[in-house]
Structure 1
Amino acid sequence: MIQITKDYIPVNKYSRAGLKLKAKRGIVMHYTASPGAPAKNISKYFASLAQQDSNKAVKGRYASAHFSVDRTSIYNSLPDDELAYHCGSATYTKEAIAKLETYPNNSTVGIEMCIEKDGSIHEDTFNNVVDLAVYLIRERGFPPVFFTHKEVVGWKECPLPWIKQPGEYERFKQAVHIKLNPLQEIAVTEDDDMNTVLNYAQWAWNELDQYIGDAYNDKVIEDWAWVEKVRKKKLTYGELLLLKVLIDERRRKKS
């Protein structure tokens, strides 16, 4: 069961308008841009925006997200059926408007991913975000439609770790898909090589045989056909990715 800490910020002008979403059309991924800051601090920051003096000449900052996630915790700053200021308020991409309507804040839930001191997203944070996304889809009625902040607005390099390494964004979406559909293979397009049989040297097949065999012996996977596929050298790249996500996730839950 996913553990979420409710830390609702007060209704205020700058970070929680108290308005209900008009629809649930997607999930938008962000990063905190604050190396080493935990999820709790991000939630506190959103709450602090309520203290801005609206009478000053300086323009107030409007910002918030529903969830902040780090290696060990998930903080929920406002109800996921309320509007948060996480997608900006100026221009949006054509794709975002087509799927999320003209003001994406009205139809999306925002997730902030905390980063390590070196600017990376830790694997534990990654796994927590996958679990949160699955929860939002299964339990809270959001569709499996994902956008990065950059995909919504077109200009902001957010979440930066995934902009730099787009394969991590794809790995995230695939991991969510597998957890939602554990018995289905990953869908691939004509441009993918995911359905190509692995072109491994014998030593690599031996290592893979050990990896899959251990998982079968430990009852992490129950279908002997996977072992047979490896031994007959018929496993595809897509199947290997599917197996790795399943095995790693199930071992993580057992530990």
Structure 2
Amino acid sequence: MVKKKRINKKPVLIMVVILMLISLGSFYIASTHQNDVEAYQVEGLPIQHQFLTINPYSRSGKSLHRVNGIVIHYTANPGSTAKNNRNYFENLRYTKTTSVSSHFIIGLDGEIIQCIPLNEIAYASNNRNRDTISIECCHPDESGKFNEETYNSLVKLVRALMKTYHLQSQDVIRHYDVTGKICPKYFVEHEDQWKEFLNTL
């Protein structure tokens, strides 16, 4: 009579338990992180908090340890809304085409969507991601010039952030000042308008 070989189920059981603990730990970390966000609010500003899902392409969840500056961008997508651009960032977790995001997007009606908590980095300003808050601005046409509603919300938001982080107007820069990219286009091509903007802060 051939004896049946007994299978030691212990290693398999241990492996299953370990995998379950890892999954539970990841879920706990993600849940805690999602709840521990910095929803920025400013009196008189219509800020909507629509945080991106944590993913490698638009919201890494990496900590922003210090804020030394504010970087202004334009969407380079004439006529698009703040919601359109926020959804583009969100969908990158599926399309995986690039890594990009911003803390705030200001729309054509002056509405503001916060996409990334202020205690996390955004993928917007290259080597300055690690110490800056980024603001994307919508614009109605190819010139890249912000309309009055967008411009006014930008001024108010930047002033509030400067106060929050004890920054000066020289700490407010363009994406262009980081990499030489023509962004925000109108403020790069019209240096006088950029200086005028800084003078309002």
Is the pair's TM-score, using the shorter chain for normalization, greater than 0.5? yes
Instruction: Give the structure 1 partner of residue 179 of structure 2.
Output: 153
Q: Which one of 96, 113, 133 corresponds to residue 137 of structure 2? A: 113
* SS of residue matched to 2:117: coil
Deviations 1:43-82 (A, max 9, x none): 11111111135xxxxxx40000111112320111111221
Change in 2 beyond 3 A, CA 1:77/1:142? farther
TM-score, reference length from structure 2 = 0.73
Change in 2 beyond 3 A, CA 1:12/1:142? farther
Matches within 5 A, 1:75-224: 75-88=113-126, 103-119=127-143, 120-138=145-163, 140-141=164-165, 143-144=167-168, 145-154=171-180, 156-176=181-201
Change in 2 beyond 3 A, CA 1:66/1:142? farther
Relative CO higher for 1 or 2, CA cutoff 8 Å, sep ≥ 6? Answer: 2
Q: CA RMSD in A?
A: 1.4
Deviations 1:173-221 (A, max 9, x none): 1111xxxxxxxxxxxxxxxxxxxxxxxxxxxxxxxxxxxxxxxxxxxxx
Instruction: Give the structure 2 partner of residue 3 of structure 1.
Output: 46
Count how many residue pairs are aligned between Structure 1 and Structure 2: 154
Structure-1 separation of matches of 2:119 and 2:197: 23
Residue 30, structure 1, aligned to residue 67, structure 2 = no
Instruction: Give the structure 2 partner of residue 218 of structure 1.
Output: none
User: Structure 1: 5+ residue runs without aligned partners?
Assistant: 54-59, 89-102, 177-255
Asked if structure 1 preserves the Cα contact closer than 8 Å seen for 2:108 and 2:139, the reply is no
TM-score, reference length from structure 1 = 0.58
Show structure 1 runs of 4+ deviating over 3 A: none
Asked if structure 1 preserves the Cα contact closer than 8 Å seen for 2:103 and 2:134, the reply is yes
